[in-house]
Copies of this chain bind each other. A is one copy, B any other.
Amino acid sequence: MRFLLDAEQAEFGRTLDRMLAAAGTPGVVRAWAAGDHGPGRALWSRIAEAGVFALAVPEAYDGVGPLPVELAVAYVELGRHAVPGPVVETAAAATLLGELPSVAKEWLPRIASGEAVVSLRLDEADAFCGPYALDADAADAVITVSGDELRLAPGHGPLQASADPARRLFRPLDGGELLASGPAVREAAAQAADRAAFLTAAQSLGVGLELLHRTVEYTKQRMQFGTPIGSFQAVKHRLADTLLALEFARPLLFGAALSTAPADIAAAKVTAGEAAYTAARTALQLHGAIGYTEELDLSLWLRKARPLRDAWGTPGACRARVLDAQVPGLQHAP
């Protein structure tokens, strides 16, 4: 047992962090939200070059994965830098299509290389899946699953604005080319939904960590009543609670990376999602009015926290799944 990132994993995270910091993601996010996908696609290529999408793709299809621990490391960084685009959906699409050899060959190498941006709408009947394909207008393909049919959507409806304008929602049109069908589609879709929930948990944790970081820095320098507001005990305790929530979400995330069990993923999803939302509420309150403005970059993270909390598994759906799998007396077995 060594429940600790090894040196290589930690360094991978730091490298990604440096690359994304240098890329100036806030400008990319604002462009993306305005419908200008150019800077986002350029960033996407660099993220692919750093090897992120290859982590979700098996070696047989030019990837190096699946490597859930490394994926968690990477998606925490994507969240920490508020990277826009269907990063979760593309990796989940790799999981989905990777189970279906007939279509894997066409799409997975392109996903690994960053050439293909893919969005996804899984079966709406699944409590963990929503009705939209995120950023469908920027995607090279929109994959849909209904029942046991997997299709390439023939297009999408109008933009449905999200509370986070960098999340551009579209309903895929019905029909389209049938890529695969049968029970294997259903099984693959369930795995893809789990993968999406897992990566969203990682992204949430990153969002929460960055919100906390920015808020701590702000409260150290913001003066009121002649003292930094970070010296007030009410401020301290609220920040301490936020750190607590995040630091106890982290082990659940990496525990889920190691087990890949649906219940463990659900536990990580609800905990990271709630922690990030807690961080957002804290960040807004402690920034005061300035935090309530779109122009402060903080808003790019603030607005992401709640949609991520509910995407790919609401807190209620996740909690139900945690207990579905809980067979008393068995969870301690080796």
Interface of A toward B, CB cutoff 8 Å: 232-234, 237
Q: 5 interchain pairs (CB within 8 A)?
A: A232-B233, A233-B233, A233-B234, A234-B234, A234-B237
Closest residue to A235 on the B side, CB-wise?
B233
CB distance from A157 to the nearest CB of B (A): 32
CB distance from A240 to the nearest CB of B (A): 10
* CB of A228, distance to nearest CB on chain B (Å): 14
Tell me, rounded to whole Å, the shortest Cβ–Cβ distance linking A214 to chain B.
23
Write out the residue numbers on chain B whose beta carbons fall within 8 Å of the beta carbon of A237.
234
Q: Which residues of chain B are within 8 angstroms of A232 by Cβ–Cβ distance?
A: 233
Distance to closest chain B CB from A239 (angstroms):
12
Closest to A234 in B: B233
- Shortest distance between the CB of A198 and any CB in chain B (Å): 33
Once the chains are docked, how many angstroms separate the CA of A207 from the CA of B237? 28
Alpha-carbon gap, A234 to B235, bound state (A)? 9
Report how far A232 CA is from B233 CA in the complex, Å: 7
Please name all residues of chain B whose beta carbon is closer than 8 Å to the beta carbon of A234 when the two chains form the complex.
233-234, 237
Nearest B residue to A237, CB-CB: B234
List the 5 closest A-B pairs by CB distance, nearest first.
A233-B233, A233-B234, A234-B237, A232-B233, A234-B234
CB distance from A225 to the nearest CB of B (A): 12
Distance to closest chain B CB from A39 (angstroms): 44
Q: Nearest chain B CB to A316's CB is how many angstroms away? A: 17
Kindly state the separation between the CA atoms of A233 and B237 in the bound complex, as whole angstroms: 10
